[in-house]
Amino acid sequence: MKLSPLALTLTLLPAGQLLADTFERDQALKLPDVLISANRQVEARNDSSAANTVFTRDDIDRLQPSSVTDLLRRVPGVQVGQTGGRGSLPGIYIRGTKSAQSLVLVDGQRIGNSTSGDSNLQHINIEQVERVEVLRGSRSVIYGSDAIGGVVQIFTRRGAEPGLQPRLHVGFGSNQTWERSLGVSGGDDKTRFNLGTSLDETAGIDRTTKSYPSDGDHDEYRNKSVSLSLSHALTDNVEIGANLLDNRGRSEFDNPFGRFDLNTFESLQQQPYSDFNVSSLSSYVDARINDVWKTRLEFGHSENREKTFDKLSDERSVFNTYRDSVNWQNDLTLDARNSLIVGGDWYEDRVNSSTPFDEDSRWNRAAFVQHRYKADSFSTELGLRRDQNQQFGGQNSWSGTFTLPLNPNNDVLLTYSEGFRAPTFNDLYYPDFSNPDLKPERSKSYELQWRSQLSESSRLEASLYRTDLEDAIIFGGNGPQNVASARINGFEAALKQELFGWQSNLGVAIIDPRDRDSGHTLARRARRTLSLDLDRQFDRLGLGASWQAVSSSYDDENNGQALGGYALLGLRSSWALNREVKLELKVDNLLDKGYSRALYSYGSSQYGYREEGRAWMFGVTWTPEL
């Protein structure tokens, strides 16, 4: 495997040691061979104990995904389901866990909605993204609550080189879809910046088949996004910076369930839409105190706001959540074999809603420590975290990894990790349908990984794992209760290789997610998934294809409502007219496959939400040289 100079340097440094160069993290974000999210520090991907997938900006430009969720479908062990429209909440299932059991970060800040537990990941504009890292498996020792299934971290665009580098992108496609973005990055030896803005619009499609006449319209979507990153080296050893991402717009969606009229006790037609805002602001100080000690202090604020309206009535609802956070992490290189991570977290959630909650704020504080030992013939990693929450009290999380290098090209890793998820405000305080005595959901995971460098251009990573969930929260006639348990067994593999000039990325996952009490398969989890990307560059011409296959699943917990499997084929191409102008064309769902990822009830029958058929997109990107 060929490594860039920075990545090669990282593999030779003790864990946690800062590079002599400034803008270490900004440079690392451009590289496929390093990882940041696993331990909140820059490290070589192969040194991390976490099963992981990384998409750089180069990958995003090559794959031409329409959204972040489109990108995540390529990750082995990750499934995405969405209902009701482009702006509707997606189900993100990492290793068979549900959306609220996986943590989503933007530039290190939690963006999850503290009322529902969802992240509104669908609203993050892909044009404002520099990098996406996906960790599969619990990382609660580092991040605390919600990181049972894994972690998705999105990094906003960064400046790369000194000087000014402007960029302009315009795209047009099916269903009156428009993509427009404008940005500029640059700086000098001390300061780097990036400023970008974008506007996405689409007329959408009609997501429902049988439903009220009011659902017969197309579901429009509009998203305005802006991002800003700024970093400045005060000295050779001290850097400060800030990152901002703001996404806001309007989303229409179908509601075949209608609205309930309290006077007539009937379900009436509705044409709902929501005005949304998902934003994240962070600032940091990064300092190398000496050759042993590196420290990073981060401050963050995120907002997840949504106002829902009905065109056919005066009904409206507001669910706004806010989070302030502080993280302090210290990376200590004790000697050539031993390193230590010591840190603390604090965050506070607040709710402002049209629905009154018994409690509308709570805090969480935590301390964590992780030790890594690296010998010639093996290495170990052992971590402990203690969370103290205003509502549910204390929670301990442990993790440990033993790594055995079989030879220079093959490693075997054995990992045990614990995780938990704190109940949301809806779980605890929603009027007449909550339980303030809920305990956190808990998990224990066991994993065996094999990583093999098959050749210079071929790498295989495989994982065999088991996750046990206890005190899972389910909703019954008496509200939410800690009564469910689940067992998830799984296998996943990723193969990356180059053959006859073609770059291929293959991801395969097989899971068996079951409710331990009933023996039923967990809802909306397909047992088998496959993703294959093939790409080749012919001088100025780039060609690529994607194949995604998903097996059948069930829409309900009782396994009475089946969802059929499906396979999708996509093609893409790019043509560099010159060094400044590139043309792009892609066709998704080339075979116009009809399929559904979720069902809905209308009358006494079940119907599938429509997914988009064959769709094309043509774009022009201009990066003038100044």
- The answer as to whether 23 is a domain residue is no
Cβ-based neighbour number of residue 73 at 10 Å: 18
Residue 198 has pLDDT above 60, yes or no: yes
Q: What is the mean pLDDT of residues 271-277?
A: 93
Identify the domain containing residue 271 by its residue range.
159-622
Query: Is 15 a residue whose pLDDT tops 80?
Result: no
Pairing of strands 528-538, 541-550: antiparallel
- pLDDT per position as a tens digit, 459-481: 999 999 999 999 988 876 677 88
Q: Return the bridge partners of 79, or none.
A: 93
Band (pLDDT 50/70/90 cuts) for residue 120 is: confident
Mean pLDDT of 602-616: 91
- Tell me the two tokens of residue 123: 């609203």
Predicted pLDDT at 23:
67
* Pick from 518, 602, 592: nearest CA to 557: 518
Tell me the mean pLDDT in the region 431-441. 89
For residue 448, tell me if it sits in a domain: yes
pLDDT, one tens digit per residue, over 373-417 is 999 999 999 999 999 999 888 999 999 999 999 999 999 999 999
Do the domain assignments include residue 344? yes
Give the number of domains in the chain.
1
Q: Mean pLDDT lowest for which of 110-124, 219-233, 543-557?
A: 110-124
pTM of the complete model: 0.93
CA 381 centroid distance within chain: 25
Q: How far is CA 500 from the centre of its chain?
A: 33
Whether 324 is in a domain gets the answer yes
At 430, is the secondary structure helix, strand, or coil?
Answer: coil
Q: Which pLDDT score is estimated for 475?
A: 79
- pLDDT (0 to 100) of residue 264: 67
327 and 120 Cβ atoms separated by less than 8 Å: no
Confidence of residue 124 (pLDDT cuts 50, 70, 90): very high
The whole-angstrom separation of Cα 133 and Cα 41 is 13
Compute the mean pLDDT over every residue in the chain, rounded to the nearest whole number: 91
pLDDT of residue 265: 60
Q: What is the DSSP string of 551-618?
A: --EESSTTS-SEE--EEEEEEEEEEESSSSEEEEEEEESTT-----S-EEEETTEEEEPP---SEEEE
pLDDT digit string, tens, across residues 206-218: 999 889 898 888 9
Of 294-298, 347-351, 357-361, 572-576, least confident by mean pLDDT is 357-361
Give residue 269's pLDDT. 86
**Rounded distance between C-alpha atoms, residue 84 and residue 480, angstroms:** 25
* Cα 343 from Cα 9, distance rounded (Å): 25
Which residues, including other chains, have CB under 8 Å from residue 478's CB and lie 6 or more apart?
A: none
pLDDT band at 261 (very low <50, low <70, confident <90, very high): low
Q: What is the pLDDT of residues 148-186, one digit of tens each?
A: 999 999 999 998 778 899 999 999 999 999 999 999 999
- The residue whose two tokens read 């994982």 is 463
What mean pLDDT do residues 344-352 have? Answer: 96
Q: Is 71 a domain residue? A: no
Q: Which one has a higher pLDDT value, 222 or 2? A: 222
- SS3 sequence of 114-133: CCCCCCCHHHCCHHHEEEEE
Q: If you search the block for the tokens 């495989």, which residue do you land on? A: 462
Q: Assign 20 a pLDDT band (cuts: 50, 70, 90).
A: very low
Do the beta carbons of residue 419 and residue 397 sit within 8 Å? yes
263: left (phi over 0), alpha (psi -120 to 50) or beta: alpha
| CATH code for position 216 | 2.40.170.20
Q: Select the more confidently predicted residue: 250 or 4.
A: 250
* DSSP one-letter string for 287-348: EE-SSSEEEEEEEEEEEEEEEEEETTSS-EEEEEEEEEEEEEEEEEE-SSSEEEEEEEEEEE
Q: Average pLDDT in the 49-53 region?
A: 95
> What does the DSSP assignment read for 522-538?
PTT--SEEEEEEEEEEE
Q: Which residues pair with 538 in a beta bridge?
A: 541
DSSP structure class, residue 408: T
H helix or E strand, kind and range, residue 249: strand 238-252
For the cut 80, the answer to whether the pLDDT of residue 19 exceeds it is no
Q: By three-state DSSP, how is residue 35 classified?
A: strand
- The first and second tokens of residue 70, run together, are 């489109």
Band of pLDDT at residue 22, cut at 50, 70 and 90:
low
Whole-angstrom distance, CA of residue 551 vs CA of residue 186 = 46
Q: For residue 406, give both structure tokens.
A: 């079989």
Which stretch of 27-36, 61-70, 242-251, 283-292 has the lowest confidence by average pLDDT?
Answer: 27-36
Q: Which residues pair with 191 in a beta bridge?
A: 232
What are the distances in angstroms from CA 220 to CA 109, 205, 269, 307? 29, 8, 18, 16
Q: How many whole angstroms separate alpha carbon 190 and alpha carbon 211?
A: 59
Q: Which amino acid is at 209?
A: T
Cα separation, 383 vs 399, whole angstroms: 5
Q: Give yes or no for a contact between 147 and 421, defined as CB atoms under 8 angstroms apart.
A: no
For 397-411, give the DSSP string. EEEEEEEEEEETTEE
Question: Is 502 inside a domain boundary?
Answer: yes
10 vs 358 pLDDT, higher one: 358
Reduced to 3 states (helix: H, G, I; strand: E, B; else coil), residue 246 is strand
Angle at 518 between CA 512 and CA 522, to 5 degrees: 40
- Looking at residue 456, its pLDDT comes to 87
pLDDT of residue 6: 45
Q: What is the pLDDT of residues 522-561, one digit of tens each?
A: 999 999 999 999 999 999 999 999 999 999 999 998 999 9
SS3 content of the chain, % helix, strand, coil (to 5): 10, 60, 35
Q: How confident is the model at residue 55 (pLDDT cuts 50, 70, 90)?
A: very high
In this structure, is residue 51 part of a structural domain? Answer: no
Predicted local distance difference test score (pLDDT) of residue 1: 39
Q: Are 231 and 243 in contact (CB under 8 A)?
A: no
Domain assignment present for residue 616? The answer is yes
